[in-house]
Amino acid sequence: MTVTNPPTSVSTLTEQAHRACDRAVSALVDMQHEDGHWCSRLQGDSILCSEYILMKWILNQEDDPRLPRILAHLLAQQRPDDGAWVQYPGAAPDVSATVKAYLCLLLSGSHSDNDETMRRTEHLIRAHGGAETVNTFSMFYFACLGLVDWDACPAIPPELVFQPHWSPFHLAKMSAWSRTMVLPLAICSALRPVRQLPDQVHRAFARLFNDRAYQHRICRSRSQQHRIMGAVFHQCDDWLKSVNHAGAGNWPLRRRALQEAERWILDRAQPHTTEGLGAIFPPMVYLQIALYALGYPEDHPTCRQARDDLDALMLEVDPTDPSSPIDIQPCFSPVWDTGIALHALTECGYHLNRDIPGRLIRRAADWLADRQTTHAGDWSAAVPVEPGGWSFEYRNEWYPDVDDTAMVLMALHGSDSAQSTFGPNIDRGLRWLLAMQCEDGGWAAFDRTVNRPWLEALPFADHNAIQDPSCPDITGRVLECLGKLGRSHHDPAVQRAIRYLRNKQEPEGCWFGRWGVNYIYGTWEVLEGLRAIGCDMTQPWIRRAGLWLLDVQQADGSFGESPDTYEKNQIKGVGRPTASQTAWGAMGLLAVFGAEHPAVKRAIGRLCETQLSEGEPRCDHENPAGTWAETEFTGTGFPRVFYLRYHLYRTYFPMMALARYLRSNGSRSHPAAGVH
């Protein structure tokens, strides 16, 4: 790598890092809610708006006065140069997103199907394979609106709910997010609701297909992996549809299955345990459609609750303008944001006993401790241990997750210098965390799982996440947590995890990032975990990961990686630089090479140089001083399908990197006391 700028002198860089860290702390504290928590905007792509609008049309609720404002935000997300809607800035056109957005414009009447913009979008859709190539979850919306036959969708039998636990198709074998989506869709698949639309809508929509036969039958060309199992599953799909045509809806078993599926989803949508089914957007939408298909009246308390839970995710783009466009978030991220923010503050040296900052720390720590789950959720079917994890959202007792739990445990442990206040919470959380280790030695997100990759060949699994297998980034974070809590590399659970990570290391030396973009995220997580549990960081396999980070570091010291790397792994570590990824790269290098390495100093220097300062043109309400400008999506929902922009990533991760650098060179033992 060619270095274009000389490294800043040690004393100057240390002073700059101190100032930058203190400014970031002040900015972060200003964003803290009165009760102690943080929750930033969580931004997804256009499908959140388009699917909400389509849901309203399916439910005969298209007169909702907010829909024009949601449509305005949807239209604002259209890329002007080619008319496409995309998954993240700079991405290739997304056919599923573009078809759904096109349909929303068509239904609204705001754009005629002969409009030049609409014609251009039609051409783009057909040029990229036509509407027949959309994902199966999009097809369900189109079937509910009568624009395609239900036979163009995969059959999802509600009898799945009766599968015995030993069956590979038992719901527990699916990821937590998949099971909350699959059962509402199974109800719809069995009952086949259809909303009638005007003929002109049908004619315009039909033009989006290159082969209109796929309006009547499933497009099997989507299955590219596991071809043999894909063929088997499609034969099963044909058989299930023939059973449906033979009148399965009147069979006693089907009626019992629908009743049990209904009970299952209603149990998991109770307001005292969750803020919506799964507490995430897709199942919250599918729940409303399933209730409609089951004949629930619009004013039924369950329907009202489901509607309120979903509508809470709406966000005015400009809160000062009551007529501004409305965006929709995929969920809330308060536990995640608060856990990372508190952990970052403790890395800066703040804890419960530091005067005014201590009160801020105490509020955040108390808020987190109060949200430790006490309910035995779906995970408990395979893990006989006392509940003790944390979920991502404000309230989601059914689905605590490993990543949040590890982060919160580190935050609580670091905030309590006397190790006396949160001991019971930490002990219970640690027992739960250790019990969730998978057979392969890694950790998954929501369950203790066994990887069955052939399940991804199911016809309704084209979101690439029907399962929740172990992943290196979460495993690395758990190791970091265990190290913070006193475990070492001699611990048997840790040794199993290290073996897993060695098996998952890429040939270049990096690791895949399932929940952050991408190899920079995964590699940082693993290296930090290995360092925390006391591994010898000079081992060749570990050093190889550090050398990979050196190779992908950009000339100005920054790091950046595009979500394109999920599609093209030959460009691992390549992309437009961002503050969050520069922080991850800096911390990964720091874990391997230490604070004196020139590459570490370049990365830290770049963070100092690019921090926003008071009065500069880039500073505004959206980009306050002390933070960093970042518009890229560096969070991952479903690789190759859905990505996220966490608006606090650009603040607490750079702050964490600066603090770790200062602590590593011995200059952050006494943080600034003026935080208030």
Residue tagged active-site, from 403, 462, 468, 491 = 403
Q: Which of 312, 342, 329 is nearest to 646 (CA)?
A: 329
Helix (H) / strand (E) containing 636:
strand 635-638
Strand partners, 516: 635
d(CA 32, CA 217) in angstroms, rounded, equals 52
Dihedral class, residue 419 (left if φ above 0, else alpha if ψ from -120 to 50, else beta): left
d(CA 549, CA 557) in angstroms, rounded, equals 11
d(CA 313, CA 327) in angstroms, rounded, equals 8
Q: Are 117 and 125 in contact (CB under 8 A)?
A: no
Give me 567's structure tokens. 């599609």
Q: Are 205 and 498 in contact (CB under 8 A)?
A: no
Q: What sign has the CA pseudo-torsion 42, 44, 49, 55? A: negative
Strand partners, 397: none
Q: Are 109 and 63 in contact (CB under 8 A)?
A: no
What are the helix (H) ranges across 4-46? 10-30
Chain centroid to CA 136 = 20
Q: What sign has the CA pseudo-torsion 256, 260, 266, 267? A: positive
Q: Are 659 and 348 in contact (CB under 8 A)?
A: yes
Q: Which of 111, 36, 26, 41 is nearest to 74 (CA)?
A: 111
Give me 431's structure tokens. 């027992």
198 three-class SS: coil
Q: Are 537 and 531 in contact (CB under 8 A)?
A: yes
Q: Are 365 and 343 in contact (CB under 8 A)?
A: no
- Single-letter amino acid, residue 283: P
What are the helix (H) ranges across 505-641? 519-532, 540-552, 579-593, 598-610
Pairing between β-strand 326-328 and β-strand 314-316 as defined by DSSP bridges? antiparallel
d(CA 169, CA 432) in angstroms, rounded, equals 25
Give me 303's structure tokens. 């329907």
Cα distances from 393 to residues 159, 277, 397, 452, 610, in angstroms, run 30, 12, 9, 28, 31
Give me 359's structure tokens. 């009160």
382 three-class SS: coil
| Residue showing tokens 């691992």 | 572
* Residue 267 annotated as catalytic: no
Catalytic positions are 403
